[in-house]
Structure 1
Amino acid sequence: MNTQHSTLQPAIQECADAVAAIASGIRDEQLQDRTPCEKFTVAELVDHLGSTLQSAARAARKEAQPGAGAAPAVSPRTLADSAGFAAVAWSDPAAYEGTTEFGPGELPAAFAASITLQELALHGWDLARATGQPFGVSDETGRTAFGVVEQIAEQVRGNGGYGPVVPVPGDAPAFQRALGASGRNPGWND
């Protein structure tokens, strides 16, 4: 079995299940609320994450990404479905082999899976916090997410995708350290 698949796939599945549950719990009156991801309201984050997960599923299946154009806004129900479709697509070990089209262009497929995990984990947490829902991940998934965030943090921060590092104790759970490394305050809205 591909090492990337055996590490990333269970974490993607766990986070996708959590995102689907969170999306199903979003109420209409919460859609304009702010999120820990400062540039997004709940509705905007649902749309961003849902669209990203649709692209991630295509990337896992090695399908071409659609051209630029106005896509319909993603609803919480569509986000829940998209999380499930992405998890299923990344459950295939062949999805991690070779290269694929994702985001700004072609990249190693295993790296696209890593990006999918960090999107699910970080934005899933953002949505949970913004809507007053729980977001818990296993220690193993937390460690995997932290490893991905550490790997890409400086590049993503340079592109404006992450904020400045939020200090988190070194003995904090790995997922809290991932949040801090991505510029999120693990205590947001406590």
Structure 2
Amino acid sequence: MSFADWLEVQHRAHAAFGERLAQVTDWSAPTPDDEWDVSALVRHVIEEQQWVPLLLDGRTVGEARSRLLPLGDDLPAEWRRYSAAATLAWASVDPQTMVNLSYDNVPASAYLREQASDVIVHTWDLARAIGGDEELGDGLVEAAWTVFAPQKETLQASGLFASPVPLSDDAPLQSRLLALTGRDDRVAA
């Protein structure tokens, strides 16, 4: 997929997350991640968007961290603010611009794929937590799969994901994507 295709994935992923976010009524509801409730999950996704303009502007992780502002209590408003800022930053960057991340320096195009895929998976987490529509759509699932599948052996070791859930190769791609990232969509919410 081209950088322009990934920009479209990012737009669609942010829209999908925003749709689920608008349906939140219980901020303390549990999520598929035992360590987070809905509020913590949403804060995590928003905070990830706060980093985007700063890192794409050439700041180091340390410089960016010092410029992050605490989130307010109106998380839907904070999402709209930082989603828009991240989206604008993505649209303005050269895909080959090197970006300083905590683990390496990578091209902006790789960072975009990582960021969009993270939002896609967390959209399912939020949907599951609120009892919303868990269907992510083939395009988003296929895009995230291209990012996570090649990392199959290293996802759990990264500490960012639970152990993969055993699932047959003929399961739907969305189920396999979620299983790869330690989520089991067969378990009732």
Kept after mapping to 2: 8 A contact 1:20/1:81: no
Rounded to whole Å, the distance in 2 between the matches of 1:153 and 1:80 is 32
Kept after mapping to 2: 8 A contact 1:19/1:80: no
Equivalence for 2:132: 133
Matched ranges for 1:104-115 at <5 A: 104=103, 106-115=105-114
For residue 100 of structure 1, give the secondary structure of its aligned residue in structure 2: strand
Q: CA deviation at 1:102?
A: 3.3
Equivalence for 1:33: 29
Rounded to whole Å, the distance in 2 between the matches of 1:133 and 1:80 is 20
Equivalence for 1:8: 6
Matched ranges for 1:11-160 at <5 A: 11-27=9-25, 30-63=26-59, 65-68=63-66, 71-73=69-71, 75-92=75-92, 94-104=93-103, 106-160=105-159
State the Cα RMSD in Å.
2.5
Kept after mapping to 1: 8 A contact 2:50/2:68: no
Give unpaired runs (5+ residues) of structure 2: none
Kept after mapping to 2: 8 A contact 1:62/1:95: no
Question: Structure 2 length normalisation: TM-score?
Answer: 0.83
For residue 112 of structure 1, give the secondary structure of its aligned residue in structure 2: helix
Question: Structure 1 length normalisation: TM-score?
Answer: 0.83
Stretch of structure 1 that moved more, 180-189 or 94-103:
94-103
Q: CA deviation at 1:131?
A: 1.0
The 1:156/1:32 distance shift into structure 2, 3 A limit, reads: same
Aligned-residue sequence identity (percent) comes to 20
Deviation per CA, 1:131-168: give whole Å up to 9, x if none: 11114333222111111111334333112111111123
Rounded to whole Å, the distance in 2 between the matches of 1:134 and 1:52 is 23
